Chain A
Amino acid sequence: MKPAPFTYQRPSTLAQALTAYAAAPDAKVLAGGQSLIPLLSMRLASIEQLIDINGIDELSSITVDESGVRFGATVRHSELLSHPEVAKVQPLIPAALHHVAHPTIRNRGTTCGSIVHADASGEMPTVFALLDGVLTVQSTRGTRQLSTADLFIGALETSLEHDEIATEVFLPALPVNRGVAFDEIARRHGDYALVGVGAIVGIDDNNSITSVRAGYVSVSEVPAAIDLTEAFPGGVLSDEALAAAGELALTHLEPEADIHATIHYREQLVRVLTKRVVTAAYADAVARRKSSREESS
């Protein structure tokens, strides 16, 4: 379990990194290495050059304002998870990050790297899709801003060109009268989810549901966000509506069997988690509305 030979560079500015990357057709960017290094060590992938972006200061910041959370390509999962402002502006981020692997891996792995790795069984690509995030990618040719639809084009496949480095992720803030929740079922604590679900539920002043969107982990080829509002006629959160939401979600998903779960079981988890997570997100919306009213009065 040792990688095949490659050369290694650790540029200290983005400009240097972009130049080096453009010049090396068979290169890869090294962020946290929590996905890439195992692939190289097991010789499931081999490359000629590794361009380590961890020495680039300009990629390491987190900025939070009313519009949302903006973070650079070397920001670790654990940094976002422990950032107090992030939780306030977009509580879905920490809710999901809690389910990403274990502390040691979160200390190294980057959230941007996870999104770019585009694994539909990763939590953060789904969060990116669910929140309509924006990814900034740069090359010596210029800068592009990618939305979910532009970014995820296939299983573990993105639209990044061979010379493009992702530099920044933007995840918008949670609007008022919205609540969020995230939950998943994994074989062991911290494992990749058998199924994971995140939801954003919008309500009106009567606590009636106005919108329901859910994102799904491990049951689709590309990270999936689905609008489930139509399952809640009259904005009522009922057992029937929740069940209908699960069935509606399943029409958009493609659960597959593997050694840990059958298709039937994954379908059941989609139903159960849709119910649980939408219910929790609704309760979160109600609680947020209540506490914001209390704050303003």
Chain B
Amino acid sequence: MTTKSIGEPIKRVEDARLVTGKGRYSDDLMPGALEMAVLRSPLAHAKIISIDIDPVLDVPGVHAVYTYDDLEGPLAEPLPLLIPHPDLTHGRTQYALANGEVNYMGEAVAVVVADNRYIAEDAVNRIVVEYEALPVVVGVDGARKADNLVHEDVPGNVAARMEQGFGDVKKALKKAPNKLTLDLKIERSAASPMEGRGTVARWDQDLKRLSLWSSTQTSTGVRAAVASKLGLDLGQVDLITPDVGGGFGVKIMHPWPEELLVPLAAMNLGKPVKFTEDRREHFISSAHERGQEQHIEVGFDDEGRILGLDFQFWHDHGAYTPYGLIVPIITSTQFLGPYKLPAYHVVFESLYTNTVIVTPYRGAGRPQAVFAMERTMDAIAKHLGMDRAVVRQNNFIQPEEFPYAHGDLNFQDGRPLVYDSGNYPELMEKAKNLVGWGEYEAFRDEAKAEGRKVGIGIACYVEGTGVGPYEGGHVRIETNGKVKVATGLTSQGQGHETAFAQIVADELGAKFEDVEIVTGDTRRMPYSVGTFASRAAVMSGSAIALASRKAREKVLRLAADALEVSEDDLEINDSVVSVKGAPETKIELGTLAVLSNPLRYAFDEASKAATQFAVGDPTKPPIPDGEEPGLEGKDFYSPMRSTFASGIHAVIVETDPETAEISILKYAVVHDCGTLINPMIVEGQIHGGVAQGVGGALYERMEYDENGQLQNASFMDFLIPYVTEVPTKIDIDHQVTPSPLNPLGIKGAGEAGVIPTAAAFAAAIEDAEGITITSMPISPSELYDLRLRDSSAVDERTQA
């Protein structure tokens, strides 16, 4: 008997490669390729009066210089608006190279292709651009004031205004016995993967074929965009995703200007061309996220049950809207979390500013949403003098209420917002046990007696994961017994090679070690969407399970034939098909692969066994009707709607009474992502997510000055926490409520760790300090300022 692979904490097979420096990232490919450097706008908003490239033309080693004037056809049009939406009335996208105007510091103005990056950068510095500075719009405040406009033809800097809701909120607020208003703010951060963007292209003039490698989260997306912008047939473009050093959302955005300009140069020059983004470029020309200001009006009864809630927010999306309204739509819907609201109204404005574009970053609008809702829950508890956990429990959707529809709200996939499964009361019990909610009062009193300040915070979330439209799986058993599996979405270090192999091992009965997973290679799987929204396990995992089942059916048909038994009598273990109860009657998967492909020519021992004089019933065609040669299975998974994971984080912090430094005493996570394929991988995702969440709560922010200059475009001043800043131990407990929407009961787990972190920290710091926290992230310096303001407010109160 083989053991089940799904559910086992199998060590990640990709790690040996990745942690010993054997990963192959885009910059490792094609050594000697020509390299591209980009001239980026130093100003946040300006007209381009002239660009003089003459000083570059005679620089030895320079092969090409492009400005907007060199772009033709579709490439001269604005870049695609990837996700249109009827409410996005004023969507704008940038050009691959600026066309007369720049709208953020870092926008691409010209590119140089040279022998190497050194020369390319020398040359870029010689290009002379004359700018006429325009007034700059920074921050939600600046955008809303609209004294200046980012785009002349977009009134009020408003790209979209979207409104949704259910129930009669006005009435509910009027009648509610208790009412509160909150004004909140979350600042900008960024995904900041270790590897920035990178693209390599080679044009084969003989085959008329473009080979493209890009550090992306969507192989098929980049391929389609490049084909359409460069006027190639899709079939002429292969997109191969190499190892990708992290994405966290920023690489789902595509096509980046460089993803189009690199293949353009490769085709024009007939030589391989490479672009490797450096860190500064990543800060000023990739994407950011999180910046929002929020206003909440909530009415509730004396048990803290919400009767009606009005949520308004302003979303800073930067200079352009290539990714549509996805982030604010997620905020507006995922705000509801695990709670049952009888009446809800949300309206948001998505606003232009002269800053880097905003596209999804791990969590994608949810950390803001959870911050808003959980701050509301804490405010209600404080107002009523109730336990914060009890207020939440009083608002929970109950286990018997699933599937649960939030009125007629629509989610980011355009489908109704319906939760598939979950058990929030039990999650809360687990969370309280894990963090020691019951014993906390005594601990706080003890600490207080020692002159210490400690605080506890708790935050709940529900995360819509595994959005459609679909993913595919292709499973092929080779004659040597290896099982080659392909899925189209890409990997950025999540452990897909391991988790997907576990699924194949169980569903097919193959040896885990014989399974090899390939992701993000359009030559192997040209139909795919991409890796985002915690969807890889749900979507590709399900597709691979279905494809494995198809392969298994064929295996059993062939084996039944070969062993002359009924399919029902067969079992597959460790890549061997055998008769139940008679294990000596058996045949290996590799042998069946040989039999599946009748041959004319023999070139090795395995193929000898498959030649026409060796196999088959001479009275039948070598390949039976309705069958195909080869031992393969292919299938696609396309769900009705998203599946909803959930969880609760609780944190205990200590704040230094003198220096306002914030340290983490305990961090606890309970998490429900349905069936766990590999608990070790899930826990790794939680650890990484929490680390990123700590960054978002206590360290990271984009510091734009009033001129739209990013002040901290380096890892020296954009403070990603080191290992010394994240909790050494994260207590984790799992809950499993399988999803009824997919064959394995999986829900996504990739983003969860980062979603409620800022909310939990805000609550804990508020608890420690007795000062209301309305804005995150928070630094010791800001906390110190809050203390000063609070104590002067207290002074005023006592004097009055």
Binding site for B on A (CB under 8 A): 1-5, 42-43, 185, 187-192, 194, 259-262, 264-265, 268-269, 272
CB-CB under 8 A from B784, the residues of chain A are: 262, 264-265, 268
Contact with A along B690-720 (1 / 0, CB 8 A): 0000000001000100000001100011010
CB atoms of A4 and B724 under 8 A apart: no
Q: B117-125, B440-448, B511-519, B594-602: which lies at the A interface?
A: B117-125
Check A272–B658 contact: CB distance below 8 A. Answer: yes
In angstroms, how far is the closest chain B Cβ from the Cβ of A270? 11
* Nearest CB in chain A: distance from B697 CB, A: 14
B279 at the interface (CB under 8 A from A): yes
13 of the cross-chain contacts (CB-CB < 8 Å) are: A3-B118, A4-B121, A4-B125, A43-B121, A185-B659, A187-B719, A188-B724, A188-B725, A189-B725, A190-B724, A259-B712, A259-B717, A262-B784
Instruction: Say yes or no: is B54 at the interface (Cβ < 8 Å to chain A).
Output: no
By Cβ-Cβ distance, the 7 closest A-B pairs, closest first, are A189-B724, A265-B781, A1-B278, A261-B781, A2-B118, A272-B658, A259-B703
| Contact among A3, A260, A272 with B781 in the assembled complex (CB-CB below 8 Å) | A260
Shortest beta-carbon distance from A13 to chain B in Å: 30
Within 760-800 of B, Cβ neighbours of A (below 8 Å) are at 779-781, 784-785, 788
Q: A188-B724, A190-B722, A265-B785 are in contact. Are A260 and B659 (CB under 8 A)?
A: no
Give A259 to B122 CA distance when docked, in angstroms. Answer: 31
Known A259-B703, A259-B717: A4·B661 in contact at CB below 8 Å:
no
> Complex: how many Å from CA A191 to CA B278?
22
Q: Does B280 contact A (CB under 8 A)?
A: yes
Residues of B in contact (CB 8 Å), total: 29
- Chain B min CB distance to A257 (Å): 9
- A268-B659 in contact (CB<8A): yes
Q: Cβ of B659 and Cβ of A272 under 8 Å apart?
A: yes
The residues of A that contact B117 with a CB separation of less than 8 Å are 2
State how many angstroms separate the Cβ of A110 from the closest Cβ of chain B: 20
- Specify the chain B residue showing the minimal Cβ separation from A271: B658
Q: Mark B408-442, 1 if CB is under 8 A from A, else 0.
A: 00000000000000000000000000000000000
Which of B278, B719, B725, B785 meets A262, CB within 8 Å?
B785
- Whether, in the assembled complex, B156 has its beta carbon less than 8 Å from a beta carbon of chain A, the answer is no
The residues of A that contact B658 with a CB separation of less than 8 Å are 268, 272
Complex Cα spacing A125 to B278, Å: 31
Which B-chain residue is minimally distant from A261 (CB atoms)?
Answer: B781
- Chain B 601-643 interface 0/1 with A at a Cβ cutoff of 8 Å (1 = within): 0000000000000000000000000000000000000000000
Q: For the complex, what is the distance from the CA of A194 to the CA of B719, rounded to whole Å? A: 13
Residue contact B659 to A187, C-beta cutoff 8 Å: no
Kindly state the separation between the CA atoms of A269 and B121 in the bound complex, as whole angstroms. 42
A193 to chain B, nearest CB (A): 12
**Smallest CB separation, B31 vs chain A (Å):** 16
**Which listed residue (B118, B280, B699) contacts A42, Cβ 8 A?**
B280
User: In the assembled complex, how far is the CB of residue A38 from the closest CB belonging to chain B, in whole angstroms?
Assistant: 8
Cβ of B279 to closest chain A Cβ, rounded Å = 7
Q: Tell me, yes or no, whether B257 is within 8 Å of chain A by CB.
A: no
B721 within 8 A of A: yes
Q: Given A2-B118, A5-B118, A268-B659, does the pair A188, B712 have CB atoms closer than 8 Å? A: no
Residue of A nearest to B717 (CB): A259
Smallest CB gap from B718: residue in A: A259
Cα distance A191–B717 when bound, in Å?
9
A4 engages B280 (CB within 8 Å) = no
Main secondary structure of the interface of B (DSSP, over half): loop
Among A42, A190, A192, A265, max chain B CB count under 10 A is at A265
User: Closest chain B residue to A1 by CB distance?
Assistant: B278
How would residues 302 to 346 of chain B score, 1 for a CB under 8 Å from any chain A CB and 0 otherwise?
A: 000000000000000000000000000000000000000000000
Chain A facing B: main interface SS: loop
Q: Which residues of A contact B788 (CB under 8 A)?
A: 264
Q: Are A262 and B781 in contact (CB-based, < 8 A)?
A: yes
- Which residues on B are within 8 Å of A, measured CB to CB? 117-118, 121-122, 125, 278-280, 658-661, 699, 703, 711-712, 716-717, 719, 721-722, 724-725, 779-781, 784-785, 788
Tell me the complex Cα distance, A134–B711, Å.
37
Are B781 and A2 interface neighbours, CB within 8 A?
A: no
CA distance A272 to B784 in the complex (A): 13
Which residues of the other chain, B, contact A262 by a CB distance below 8 angstroms? Answer: 781, 784-785
| Contacts known (A4-B122, A262-B785); A269 close to B725, Cβ less than 8 A | no
Interface centre among A190, A259, A269, A272 (most CB of B within 10 A): A259
Contacts of B125 in A (CB 8 A): 4, 43
For A3, give the chain B residue with the smallest CB separation.
B118
Residue of A nearest to B117 (CB): A2
The answer for the CA separation of A3 and B119 in the assembled complex, in Å, is 10
Given that A2-B117, A43-B125 are contacting pairs, would A188 and B278 also be in contact in the complex, using a CB cutoff of 8 Å?
A: no
| Residues A260 and B779 in contact in the complex (CB < 8 Å), given A1-B280, A5-B118 | yes
Q: How far is the CA of A191 from the CA of B121 in the complex (A)?
A: 29
Which of chain A's residues has its CB closest to B120's CB? A2
A271 → chain B closest CB, angstroms: 8
In the assembled complex, the CB of A44 is this many whole angstroms from the nearest CB of chain B, namely 11
What distance in Å separates the Cβ of A24 from its nearest Cβ neighbour in chain B? 21
**Bound CA span A194–B717, Å:** 12
Are A2 and B121 within 8 A (Cβ)?
Answer: yes
Query: Is B659 within 8 A of A269, CB to CB?
Result: yes
Residues from chain A with a CB closer than 8 A to the CB of B659 are 185, 268-269, 272
A2 to chain B: which residues have CB within 8 Å? Answer: 117-118, 121
A4 contacts across to B, CB distance below 8 A? 121-122, 125
**A5 to B788 Cα, complex, angstroms:** 51
In the complex the two chains form, what is the Cα distance from A42 to B703 in whole Å? 19
A187 and B722 alpha carbons, distance in the complex (Å): 10
Partner of A187, one of B118, B122, B779: B779
**In the complex, which residues of chain B have a beta carbon less than 8 angstroms from the beta carbon of A42?**
280
Contact A259 to B699, CB < 8 A, known contacts A5-B118, A265-B785, A268-B784:
no
Q: Which residues of A contact B660 (CB under 8 A)?
A: 265
Interchain CA distance A269-B724 in the complex, whole Å: 21
Question: With the chains together, A191 CA to B699 CA distance in Å?
Answer: 13
A168 to chain B, nearest CB (A): 30
A185 to B659, CA, bound (A): 9
- Say how far A51's CB is from chain B's closest CB, in angstroms: 20
Q: Which residues of A contact B280 (CB under 8 A)?
A: 1, 42
Q: Is the CB of B722 within 8 A of A188?
A: yes
Task: Knowing A185-B661, A259-B703, A259-B712, say if A264 contacts B717 (CB, 8 Å).
Answer: no
Chain A: which residue is nearest B658 at the CB level? A272
Query: How long is the Cα–Cα vector from A189 to B658 in the complex, in angstroms?
Result: 19
> Closest CB-CB distance, A73 to chain B, in whole Å?
25
Complex Cα distance, B780 from A185, in Å, reads: 10
Name the B residues within 8 Å of A185 (CB-CB).
Answer: 659, 661, 780
Residue of A nearest to B280 (CB): A1
Query: Which residue of chain B has its CB nearest to the CB of A276?
Result: B658
Interchain CA distance A185-B716 in the complex, whole Å: 16
Which residues in B have their C-beta under 8 angstroms from that of A190? 722, 724
Partner of B711, one of A191, A259, A268: A259
Known A42-B280, A187-B699, A259-B717; 8 more pairs at CB < 8 Å: A2-B121, A185-B661, A189-B724, A192-B716, A260-B779, A264-B785, A265-B660, A265-B780
**Nearest neighbor of A41 in chain B, beta-carbon distance:** B278
Cα separation A3 to B121 with both chains bound (whole Å): 8
* A195 CB → nearest B CB, Å: 9
Question: Which B residue sits closest to A266, measured CB to CB?
Answer: B781
Distance between B66 CB and nearest chain A CB, rounded to angstroms: 20
Cα of A268 to Cα of B782 in the assembled complex, Å: 13
- The answer to whether B785 touches A188 (Cβ under 8 A) is no
Q: Which residue of B lies closest to A102 (CB)?
A: B722
- The docked-state distance in angstroms from the alpha carbon of A43 to that of B785 is 36
Cβ of A45 to closest chain B Cβ, rounded Å = 14
With both beta carbons as reference points, the residue of chain B lying nearest to A259 in the complex is identified as: B703
For the complex, give the distance between the alpha carbons of A258 and B651 in Å: 29
Give the docked Cα–Cα distance between A4 and B279 (Å): 18
A5: chain B residues at CB < 8 Å are 118, 122
* Most chain B beta-carbon neighbours within 10 Å: one of A42, A185, A187: A187
| Inter-subunit contact A188/B719 (CB<8 Å) | yes
